[in-house]
Amino acid sequence: MLPDTARWLLRLVQAEQPCPDVPDELWPALLEAARETEVHGLVAERVLAEGARVPPAVARELTAWRQHEARHHGFHFVEAERIAAVLGARAIPWVLLKGASLARTAYGQPVQRAFRDLDVLVAAERHDEAIAALRALGYADADSAPLQAVQRATHFHLALAGRGKPQVEVHWAVVRPEDPYRIDPAWLLQGATVPAETPRVPCPPAEGQVLHAAASQVRCGFTQLKRIVDVDRIARRGGVDWARVAAQAAEGGLAPAVRLLLELSSELLDTPLDDALGRLPPLGRDRERLDELGIAGFPLGLPPSAWGPARHLVRYRLARDRGLVVHQFVFPTPFERERMRALGVRRGAELAGTAKRTLILAWLALWQFGLRAVPHRRSLR
The predicted pLDDT at position 369 comes to: 60
- Percent of the chain beyond pLDDT 90? 72
pLDDT at 381 over 50: no
**Mean pLDDT over residues 279-295, rounded?**
93
The yes-or-no verdict on residue 196 having pLDDT over 90 is no
Q: Is the pLDDT of residue 376 over 60?
A: no
HSE, side-chain direction, 13 A CA sphere, residue 43: 28
Domain hosting residue 280, numbered range: 205-381
Percent of the chain residues topping a pLDDT of 70: 96
Q: With bands split at pLDDT 50, 70 and 90, how would you rate the model's confidence at 206?
A: very high
pLDDT in tens, 7-21: 999 999 999 888 999
pLDDT value of residue 309: 83
| Strand ranges across the sheet with 168-171 | 94-97, 118-122, 168-171, 157-161, 140-141
Q: How confident is the model at residue 371 (pLDDT cuts 50, 70, 90)?
A: low
- In this predicted structure, what is the pLDDT of residue 274? 94
**Could you read off the pLDDT of 35-86 as tens digits, one per residue?**
999 999 999 999 999 999 999 999 999 999 999 999 999 999 999 999 999 9
Does residue 348 lie in a domain region? yes
Q: What's the pLDDT tens digit per position in 290-342?
A: 998 899 999 998 888 888 788 888 999 999 888 888 888 888 888 888 888 88
Q: What is the mean pLDDT of the chain?
A: 91
Answer yes or no: are the C-beta atoms of 54 and 87 closer than 8 Å.
Answer: no
Integer Cα distance of 80 and 165 in angstroms: 11
Is residue 274 assigned to a domain?
yes
Q: Does 224 map to a domain?
A: yes
Would residue 319 count as lying in a domain?
yes
Mean local confidence (pLDDT), 128-146: 93
| Rg, C-alpha atoms of the chain | 21
Rounded CA-CA distance 12/33 in Å is: 11
- One-letter amino acid at 314 equals V
Task: Place 91 in a pLDDT band, splitting at 50, 70 and 90.
Answer: very high
Q: Is residue 163 part of a domain?
A: no
Q: How many domains does the chain have?
A: 1
Burial of 131 (0-12, 13-18, 19+ CB in 10 A): buried
Predicted TM-score (pTM) of this structure: 0.91
State residue 43 phi and psi, 5-degree precision: -60, -45
Q: What is the largest CA-CA distance in the chain?
A: 62
- Which whole number is the average pLDDT over 272-298? 94
pLDDT at 378: 34
pLDDT at 35: 95
110 within some domain: no
Mean pLDDT over 195-211 rounds to 91
Residue 150 lies in a domain: no
Question: Residue 380 — pLDDT band, cuts 50, 70, 90?
Answer: very low
The C-alpha atoms of residue 127 and residue 104 are separated, in whole angstroms, by: 24
For the chain, the straight-line distance linking the first and the last C-alpha, in angstroms and rounded, comes to 19
Q: What pLDDT, on a 0 to 100 scale, did the predictor assign at position 358? A: 86
CA 267, CA 7: separation in Å to the nearest integer? Answer: 12
221 or 353, which is more confident: 221
155 falls within a domain: no
C-alpha separations of 49 from 73, 112, 198, 224 in Å? 18, 11, 22, 25
The pLDDT of residue 374 is 47
